[in-house]
A = this chain, B = another copy of it.
Amino acid sequence: MFTFVKMNIPSKYLEEAVEQFSSLPSIGKRTALRLVLNLLKRPEDELERFAEIIHHLKANIRTCNACGNISDTDSCSVCSNPNRNHQMVCVVEDIRDVMAIEGTGTYSGIYHVLGGIISPMDGIGPNDLFIQPLIDKCDQGNVSEVILALSPTMEGDTTNFYIYKKLIPSGVNITALSRGISVGSELQYADELTLSRSIQQRTPFTIT
């Protein structure tokens, strides 16, 4: 649009602040400007608090040594819970996936958070991810089942395949999330690939 190009910000400090906010994902310049103008209307102490939280973000928020999940302590709440099944490891891309699965309340094992997926387009290879500790854990015989729970995209499938190949020698049981039509969705709107998979991988009908 016309006004996008001609956004002449009348202050270099404001421009710098807009620049910072628009470096965040999904925040464009115009949204960034709205955010900064909102901040400008706030009292000084609120801004100080905001700045402090960003300043200490990396120092305060730690990742669990064992699984890579985000935690305030060295061991996350899942890994330090003795009631969880530590033999079952669910491999996910990011802590938002942990939160989604925890939200279902149906999973009792532990997690392994990769911190990303293999994506040659973005220059992310296996060595940039938290994969080796999972392989070590499986090689040591501490795991009976690894559930691959990455997003059903090409990158997710590539990462699944890489981990699968690496885990085979350990003899661990490797499973993946089932794929098929969504619960509550209408069949006619399912995409072809999903629908054909759900036919091929049909399951015995049971009454629950």
A interface residues (Cβ-Cβ under 8 A, vs B): 2-3, 6-14, 16-17, 20, 24-27, 31, 33-40, 44, 47-58, 60-62, 69-72, 76-78, 94-96, 98-100, 102-103
Are A70's CB and B10's CB within 8 A?
A: yes
Q: Give min CB distance, A112 to chain B, whole Å.
A: 15
- Selected A-B contacts with CB under 8 Å, 5 pairs: A10-B98, A10-B99, A13-B53, A20-B49, A40-B61
B7:A36 contact, CB within 8 angstroms: no
Q: Give the nearest-CB partner of A2 in chain B.
A: B103
Of B2, B24, B60, which is within 8 A of A38 by CB?
B24
**In the assembly, what is the distance between CA of A78 and CA of B78, in Å?**
59
- CB-based contact B58/A17 at 8 Å: no
Query: Is there contact, CB below 8 Å, between B39 and A54?
Result: yes
Q: A37-B94, A51-B52 are in contact. List 20 more A-B contacts (CB 8 A).
A: A2-B103, A3-B99, A3-B100, A6-B99, A10-B71, A11-B62, A11-B71, A11-B72, A16-B53, A17-B54, A17-B61, A20-B49, A24-B35, A24-B38, A25-B34, A25-B35, A26-B31, A34-B96, A40-B57, A47-B54
Copies per assembly: 2
Q: Interface residues of A: mostly helix, strand, loop or mixed?
A: helix
Looking across the interface, which residue of chain B has its beta carbon closest to that of A44? B58
A78 to chain B, nearest CB (A): 8
Task: Kindly report which residue of chain B lies nearest to residue A98, judged by CB atoms.
Answer: B10
Q: Which of B50, B51, B77, B100 contacts A10 (CB 8 A)?
A: B77
Contact for A54 among B12, B51, B103, CB less than 8 A: B51
The answer to whether B53 touches A57 (Cβ under 8 A) is no
- The docked-state distance in angstroms from the alpha carbon of A13 to that of B8 is 36
A52 to B44, CA, bound (A): 13
